[in-house]
Amino acid sequence: MPEQRALIIRVLGSAAGGGLPQWNCRGTNSELARREPAKAIPRTQSSLAVSADGVSWVLLNASPDLREQIGRNPALQPDPTGELRNSPIIAVVLTNADVDHIAGLLTLREGHPFTIHATSRVLEVLAANPVFNVLDPRMVPRLAMQLNEWVPVTKPCRQGFGQLTIRPFAVPGKIALYLEDTSAGPGLGTREGDMIGLEVSDGNARFHFIPGCAEVDADLSRRLRQTSLLFFDGTLFSDDEMLTQGLSQKTGRRMGHISMSGPGGSLAALGALDIDRRVYIHINNSNPVLREGSPERAEVERQGWEIAFDGMELRL
């Protein structure tokens, strides 16, 4: 019988910046994750690994926790029959320049060839910081992606299996915190290419990955109609939750993240779209959906959403 083809998606990390528990936080979720982890399962910072053949893998964002994530996922580890130094990771695709999405690149600095795909804007940020020069450009080329154009990101698969391709698209968002220019007005210096989503395909199945988003506008709604799988920004349940919990002076809107609940939240904005499977990812340690059995978790599940967890695997 012919080998079954599948697009494999593995959740390496499902939390927002800081993970769960966050190292310096004693908020409700972080304390519960430390003391009773079955009630608030610990999570590392968000990233996906995707493969069209189960052999070569592409990372969608490079979390600061990447070394730990590779250690937990044998498919991303060196081939024991291969050369002394080898890896199945052949590319990294970046959705923005947030620390929790680029810091893991430094884990991949040990002379392994792979490709970095990002917008010109994000590549400018990497180029401006000399620490990323540990990734020798002769071995790790940085390729600029054009919005709304398909980009091949893997080697051709065996036996005519096709190849993994990715199409980046702009989403409403905000510049990375450390790049903010408070003198630049409401956009804080945001430019095109600061925040993108990704459409990923193996030539047969496809899905969308949007770990950061400030608003579901008409263009994004049209793009997401009838997608088979959506990973979407689940940072906060309510816009003011970090304020009310005493963890921050910022709302979700100020951070550039849409909340799940409320009239302008993602539950309402995406509820009417024909999406086969919808998964929240990039979930902040303040979000009550991280607590097993919480009313907020029950509500999002009632509306057809899943909560991503580290090690979750989906096949299309």
| Residue 255 confidence (pLDDT) | 77
Angle at CA 237, nearest 5°, toward 30 and 199?
A: 105
| Residue 174 confidence (pLDDT) | 75
- Under the banding of pLDDT at 50, 70 and 90, the label for residue 290 is very high
The domain segmentation of the chain, as residue ranges, is 8-309
Q: What percent of the chain has pLDDT over 90?
A: 78
Report the C-alpha gap between 45 and 92 in whole angstroms: 16
pLDDT digits (tens, 9 = 90+) for 64-123: 999 999 999 999 999 999 999 999 999 999 999 999 999 999 999 988 899 999 999 999
Q: Is the pLDDT of residue 43 over 80?
A: yes
Q: Which CATH number fits domain 8-309: 3.40.190.10, 3.60.15.10, 1.10.357.10, 3.40.50.300?
A: 3.60.15.10
State the DSSP code for 302.
Answer: H
Q: Where are the alpha helices (DSSP H) in 66-171?
A: 66-72, 99-102, 120-128
Question: Going by DSSP bridges, is the β-strand pair 47-51/8-13 parallel, antiparallel, or unpaired?
Answer: antiparallel
Amino acid letter for position 29: N
Q: Is the pLDDT of residue 248 over 60?
A: yes
Greatest pairwise CA separation for the chain in angstroms:
63
The more confident residue out of 79 and 249 is 79
Give the helix/strand (H/E) hosting 165: strand 165-170
pTM comes to: 0.94
Q: How far apart are the first and last CA of the chain?
A: 19
Q: What percent of the chain has pLDDT over 70?
A: 90
Question: Of 295, 193, 284, 200, which Cα lies nearest the Cα of 243?
Answer: 284
- Say whether the peptide bond before residue 21 is cis (omega within 30 degrees of 0): yes
Q: Which of 190-204, 232-246, 271-285 has the highest mean pLDDT?
A: 271-285
Check: CB of residue 161 under 8 Å from CB of residue 53.
yes
pLDDT digits (tens, 9 = 90+) for 131-184: 999 999 899 999 999 999 999 986 544 443 458 999 999 999 876 766 756 444
Amino acid letter for position 12: L
- Upper half-sphere CA count for residue 124 (Cβ side, 13 Å): 10
Angle at CA 314, nearest 5°, toward 309 and 316?
A: 155
Burial status of residue 72 (CB atoms within 10 A of its CB: 0-12, 13-18, 19 or more) = middle
Tokens encoding 102: 């680029």
Report the C-alpha gap between 53 and 233 in whole angstroms: 27
Check: CB of residue 191 under 8 Å from CB of residue 121.
yes
88-109 core/surface letters (b: 16 or more CB in 10 A; e: else) = bbbbbbbbbbbebbbbbbebbe
170 phi/psi in degrees, rounded to 5: -75, 140
Report the C-alpha gap between 201 and 246 in whole angstroms: 41
